[in-house]
Structure 1
Amino acid sequence: MTNTKVSNNNPDKESIINKSITKAKDNEIIKNKTIQNKKVNSVSKEPNKSVDDISNELFSELISKKISLVQEIKDLETKKNELEKDIESNFKGQSDNIAKRVKGFQEYLTGSLQNLSQNVEKLELVSQPIVVKPSPLDEKKEASNKNELLTVPALSETFKPDEQLIRSCFSNFIEQPDFYSEPWKLRRSLDSSDIEVMDDWFFNMGGRGSLESRGSRQKNALLSAGFIAILGELYGDQFQTLILASQPERLGEWRRVLQDSLGLTRDDFGPNSGIVLFERPEGVIERADRLEANEELPFIIVDAAETSVEIPILQFPLWLAFAGSNDEIYDDLELN
Structure 2
Amino acid sequence: MPPEDSNRADTTGLSENADKFKSTSGYEYSGSQSSTASAGNAGISPNSRPDSARSDSVRSTVEQLVKQGLQDLERQKRTLQREVDQLERRKERLEGEMRSSFAGASQDIAIRVQGFKNYLVGSLQDLVSAAEEMDLMPSAPVAAVEPAAAPPPAETERVPLAAQRFAQQRDRINSLLDQYRTRPDYYGPPWQLRRTFDPIHADRAADWFFNQGGRGTVKSMGSRLQNVLLASAAISCMHAIYDNRLCVLVLATTPERLGEWRRWLQDCLGISRADFGTNRGVMLFEASEPMSQRAERLLDSGRIPFLIMDEAEEKVSLSLLQYPLWLGFAPDPANPSTDYDYY
**TM-score, normalising length: structure 1:** 0.52
CA distance in 2, matches of 1:238, 1:257: 22
Matched, 1:222 2:223: no
Decide whether the 8 Å contact of 1:157 with 1:203 is kept in 2: no
Mapped to 1, the partners of 2:244 and 2:225 lie a distance apart of 25
Alignment equivalent of 2:294, drawn from 276, 287, 291 = 287
Within 5 Å, give how 1:177-256 maps onto structure 2.
177-256=184-263
Shift of 1:296: 0.9
**Contact 2:305–2:325 at 8 Å: present in 1 too?**
yes
TM superposition shift of 1:198: 0.8
% identical aligned pairs: 43
Q: Deviations over 1:49-72 (max 9, x none)?
A: xxxxxxxxxxxxxxxxxxxxxxxx
CA distance in 1, matches of 2:262, 2:339: 21
Relative to structure 1, is the Cα distance of residues 154 and 298 closer, same or farther in structure 2, using a 3 angstrom cutoff?
closer
Query: Residue 287 of structure 1 aligns to a residue in which SS?
Result: helix
Residue type of the partner of 1:284?
Answer: M
Counterpart of 1:319 in 2: which secondary structure? strand
Deviations 1:196-233 (A, max 9, x none): 10111111100000000000000000111101100100
Cα shift at 1:309: 1.3
3-state SS of 1:283 partner:
helix
CA root-mean-square deviation:
2.1
SS in 2 for 1:215: coil
Give secondary structure in 2 for the equivalent of 1:306. coil
2:340 pairs with one of 325, 332, 335? 332
Structure 1: segments with no counterpart, 5+ residues: 1-124, 126-151
Q: Shift of the alpha carbon at 1:157?
A: 4.1
2:279 maps to what in 1?
A: 272
- Superposed CA deviations along residues 249-269 of structure 1, whole A, max 9, x for unmatched, are 001111111101111111111
Deviations 1:293-324 (A, max 9, x none): 00111000000000011101110000000012
Q: Deviations over 1:101-126 (max 9, x none)?
A: xxxxxxxxxxxxxxxxxxxxxxxx9x
Distance 1:291 1:153 in 2: 18
Q: Distance in 2 between matches of 1:180 and 1:332?
A: 30
> Structure 1 residues 272, 156: closer, same or farther in 2, change over 3 A?
closer
Q: Distance in 2 between matches of 1:314 and 1:153?
A: 14
Alpha carbons 2:222, 2:337 under 8 Å: kept: no
CA distance in 1, matches of 2:202, 2:257: 25
TM-score by length of 2: 0.51
| Conserved 8 A contact 1:299-1:319 | yes
CA offset digits 1:122-181 (Å, max 9, x no partner): xxx9xxxxxxxxxxxxxxxxxxxxxxxxxx969754411111111110111112321211
Query: Amino acid of the residue matched to residue 280 of structure 1?
Result: A
Give the Cα separation in 2 of the matches to 1:329 and 1:237.
33
Secondary structure at the residue paired with 2:340?
helix
Q: What pairs up with 1:61-72 in 2 under 5 angstroms?
A: none
User: Counterparts of 2:339 and 2:204 in 1: how far apart (Å)?
Assistant: 24
Which letter maps to 1:194?
Answer: H
Distance 1:218 1:311, change over 3 A: same
1:321 aligned to 2:335?
no
**Which blocks of at least 5 consecutive residues in structure 2 are unaligned?**
1-152, 154-158
Measure, in 2, the Cα distance between the counterparts of 1:208 and 1:153: 10
The 1-side partners of 2:258 and 2:162 are apart by: 30
Paired residues of 1:305 and 1:329 also in contact (CA < 8 A): no
